[in-house]
Chains A and B, each alone.
Chain A
Amino acid sequence: MDGTSRRTFLRGGVALAVATPLIGACGQSAGQGAGGTLRAALVGSGAAETLNPFAGATTLDFVRALAVHGTLGRVDPTAEDGVRYDVLSAIESAPDNSGYTLRVRPDRRFTDGSKLTARDVLYSLNFITANAQTAYSRYATDLDLAKARIIDDLTLVLPAKRRVSDVRLMLCQPYVLIFKDGTREFTPATPSCGPFRVDTFEAGRGTVLRRNDSYPGTVHLDAIELRSIAAEDARANALRGGQVDYAHDLAPAQARTVQGDGRFDVQQSAPPDVTGLGVLLNMSRPPFHDPRVRLACKLAINRQAILDTALLGRGVLGNDLFAPGYPDSATTVPQREHDPERARLLLREAGATGVTVTLTTAPETPGLVPMCTQIAAQLSEVGLKVTLDERPPGGLYADYAAYGRFQMAATYSTPIPPLHYYETVGAAGNTFALGWSRPDVDQRVAAARELSGPARKQASEAVHRTLWEDNNVLLPVFKPVLNGHVRGLRGVRGGRLPSFAEASLR
């Protein structure tokens, strides 16, 4: 190397050393302007990701889909019908619940300029049932889509298979997305009708969304950069390091650290937008086939201690019943007391004192393993020896058949109206019911879903009371979604699957 080239090399090195932090700083300041670009980090599915939300079905897939595509509406207990409509103006039930009329808003257009019609809505409903996992097409369980009738461009009638009165809640789930009639491939060019459109997409790295100018509502943000960051530590670090403005689903400890930094706030979701963290007791295996052992377990649990320790106080106390916050959720069932003495007595009576059981868990969602650790310790204190079998992430549900055979299994619930949740997950014969088999309760749930008004509420409360007394569920806490964000961010709706349609950055 001659003198000139060495000098050039050294200058280059110094320039790089100086420039590197500056480049980083430039990245940190991006996106803060009028309108501006919001940079958000969420869990995605790596380089296998596509723009088809049902292929990967991660949080990022659905948040992006909700920004790009329309929905029928979203559940909102404060709204008149219990839902806030999106591409619809109303869902009208026949007086005998024999069918539903969906009224499409006249002002919605796709990004290719075409009008959104009832035909697109029906196509989308059929697309989801044909292409998505059963979990995402459960909205259609009670509808007869084959006999659906398009009355005109803005009216669609869906006949009912069962005369249930809560189809509106099921139709307004976030995964009931609306696509243009004939959509088969999902690319940045695919017509969409949401507040944003796809500008750039790179699998596993992120998506740039731009404001959809044909969207009828007011959208403040110019663009959104959705980043796929799987590890929760990395999401929190990206926020604190100024690489993103919004970090989805932080663990409670990280949320506390982020909250302690004056630059950020933490948004906490409220019921029904909360995740139940629990343990299922396998009723087809001893010792949990004995109702005294199940009741002992429920009484041995110190729910407040679990909330304070596993979730650092951020959460909602559970009462061994799924899905709080919906109109059908239990409100009159008393809160289970913590009574370790009675738990000891019940275990002794059942001959289960000193029996060893295995609790299988995995870090599938923040707080699940700490909650199981607490439950194991508390049950051991009253005489049931609990061994924790901790699997790697993804290991809990890796083998669905094996899950049904676990003696005690960790579980977490997503927000679905409780009676529907019971029918799809908890009813007799379901793998996830872990031996629960009560045809009488199944029938009462089915009957309650056909009622409306005060009669429905009364029937629902009675079913919940039975479940509370007899079921095999320890559900001590509900975990809110904790989302960290910069102080200037406003208008993000929802916690688990946030919508940025009304968001703005100052």
Chain B
Amino acid sequence: MTRLLITRTLGIVGTLLVLSVVIFAATELLPGDAVSRVAGPQADPVQRALVAERLGLDRPAIERYVDWVGSAFGGDLGTSLTGRRPVAEIVGDRLGNSLLLAAAVYLPLIPLAVLLGTAAGLGSVGGRRGRLIDRVISFGTLAVLGVPEFLIAGLLLAVFAVWLHLFPPVSMASIGGSVLDTPEILVLPALSLLIVSLGAVIRLVRARAADVATSPYVESARLAGVRGPALVLRHVMPAVLGPAVQLIAVGFGTVVGGAVVVETLFDYPGIGNELQNAVASRDVPVVQGIALTLGAVTLIAVLAGDLVGRALDGVRR
């Protein structure tokens, strides 16, 4: 396990280095330049040159990349062009909120997905009643997968905030406080992401459960007289959980960084919303810092999923 951990950690560092090249190159290619952003549209060539020198943009791209990546791996992600705040502070402020939102999504998602996915998977290879359960769940997941994220979020907002006034329409956290001071602001963004994510995860678990249910291993348990909940809990579930956790871990990284639409719609103070702000204002250091951090979060989530999956697999064996 220790060797695996070391190998995978080195792999993460290598992947992040490759990712850093891609991020730096992509942000270099973004339309617009930082000098215009800082100096303003009416700056003359002398003023522009001074700003370029102050920002270090008068140096070759490779030199700037080496500086940036060296500092980034040391925890210094640079300084925002917009507010001249350290990017690491900005990322720190917002990443915690996004992790909290992802946790609020995954807390109900994991048991729901495992329960419904396993029921559908077992049902698909079972009798008439089982196939009916599978069809209902599969139809439901397909229907959800077909609806765009912004529509689901918009519908929830219209019904639960604007019409029923049950939850706030905008995720306004208290000033100077934590998102947890006003937990109700998490409900609608989390519910939107839960619905969006649930369909895909259920289908993945279902496919795995259907495979396991027809495996010789489960078949022999069945022939040995193990039936009903005992068969599911002792033989099917452990085989489903390992791969399911790995798949869920990949999705976790996506939810942390990919919730741009939902975070923007509810104005949730997360990292996706901040990324959108930074792109709109051409704040290149913030875009680079957030992109690199999200890459790291996803890779760490995948590693954690692999480790948990292996642990569960070990328990099963």
Contact = CB atoms under 8 A, between A and B. Distances in A.
A73 to B, nearest CB: 24
Nearest to A45: B82
Residue from A20, A201, A203, A234 whose CB has the most chain B CB atoms within 10 Å: A234
A135 B42 contact: yes
A46 B279 contact: no
A215 to B, nearest CB: 22
B59 to A, nearest CB: 20
B93 to A, nearest CB: 5
A20 to B, nearest CB: 5
A265 interface: no
B36 A48 contact: no
Interface stretch (B120-128, B162-170, B195-203, B216-224): B162-170
A245 to B, nearest CB: 13
Determine which residue in A49, A204, A425 has the highest number of CB atoms from chain B within 10 A of its CB, and name it.
A204
A399 B182 contact: no
Contacts of A402: 31
A48 B42 contact: no
Contact of B170 (A52, A238, A397, A432): A238
Contacts of A286: none
Task: Determine which residue in A52, A133, A208, A397 has the highest number of CB atoms from chain B within 10 A of its CB, and name it.
Answer: A133
Given A47-B94, A394-B280, A399-B31, A243 B83 contact: no
Size bin of chain A's contact surface: 35 or more
Interface string B90-125: 100110000000000000000000000000000000
B312 interface: no
Interface string B20-42: 00000000001111001011111
Interface residues of B, number: 55
A231 interface: yes
Contact of B175 (A46, A135, A207, A430): A207
A203 B93 contact: yes
B129 interface: no
Contact of A240 (B169, B267, B281): B169
A230 interface: yes
B313 interface: no
A202 B36 contact: no
Given A23-B184, A135-B40, A55 B82 contact: yes
A133 B50 CA distance: 12
Interface in B166-194: 166-170, 172-173, 175-176, 182-184, 187
Contacts of A48: 80-83, 85, 90, 277-278, 281, 283, 286
B273 interface: yes
B266 interface: yes
Contacts of A24: 165-168, 184
A23 B186 CA distance: 13
Given A45-B277, A431-B41, A432-B41, A241 B36 contact: no
B85 A50 contact: yes
A452 interface: no
A202 B176 contact: yes
A56 B168 contact: no
Contact of A46 (B36, B167, B168, B273): B273
Contacts of A424: 42
B161 A204 contact: no
A21 B166 CA distance: 5
B265 interface: yes
A206 interface: yes
Majority secondary structure, B binding face: loop
Interface in B270-288: 273-274, 277-283, 286
Contacts of B81: 48
Nearest to A398: B32
B176 A200 contact: yes
B312 to A, nearest CB: 22
Interface string B50-94: 000000000000000000000000000000111111000110011
Contact of A238 (B169, B175, B278, B282): B169
B15 interface: no
A424 B184 CA distance: 49
Nearest to B268: A234
A202 B187 CA distance: 23
B269 interface: yes
Nearest to A236: B169
Nearest to A228: B267
A254 interface: no
B267 A46 contact: no
A56 B83 contact: yes
Interface string B137-178: 000000000000000000001000110011111101101100
A46 B31 contact: no
B257 to A, nearest CB: 15
A48 B80 CA distance: 6
For the complex of A and B, 7 pairs with smallest distance between CB atoms: A133-B40, A398-B32, A46-B277, A237-B169, A48-B83, A48-B80, A48-B82
Interface of A: 20-21, 23-24, 27, 41, 45-50, 52, 55-56, 133-135, 138, 200-208, 225, 227, 229-231, 233-234, 237-238, 240-241, 243, 392-395, 397-402, 424-425, 430-432
Given A27-B182, A205-B269, A241-B165, 19 more contacts: A20-B187, A45-B83, A47-B85, A47-B277, A48-B278, A49-B83, A55-B83, A133-B43, A134-B47, A203-B85, A229-B267, A237-B161, A237-B169, A238-B267, A394-B282, A397-B32, A397-B41, A399-B32, A401-B36
Interface of B: 30-33, 36, 38-44, 47, 80-85, 89-90, 93-94, 157, 161-162, 165-170, 172-173, 175-176, 182-184, 187, 264-267, 269, 273-274, 277-283, 286
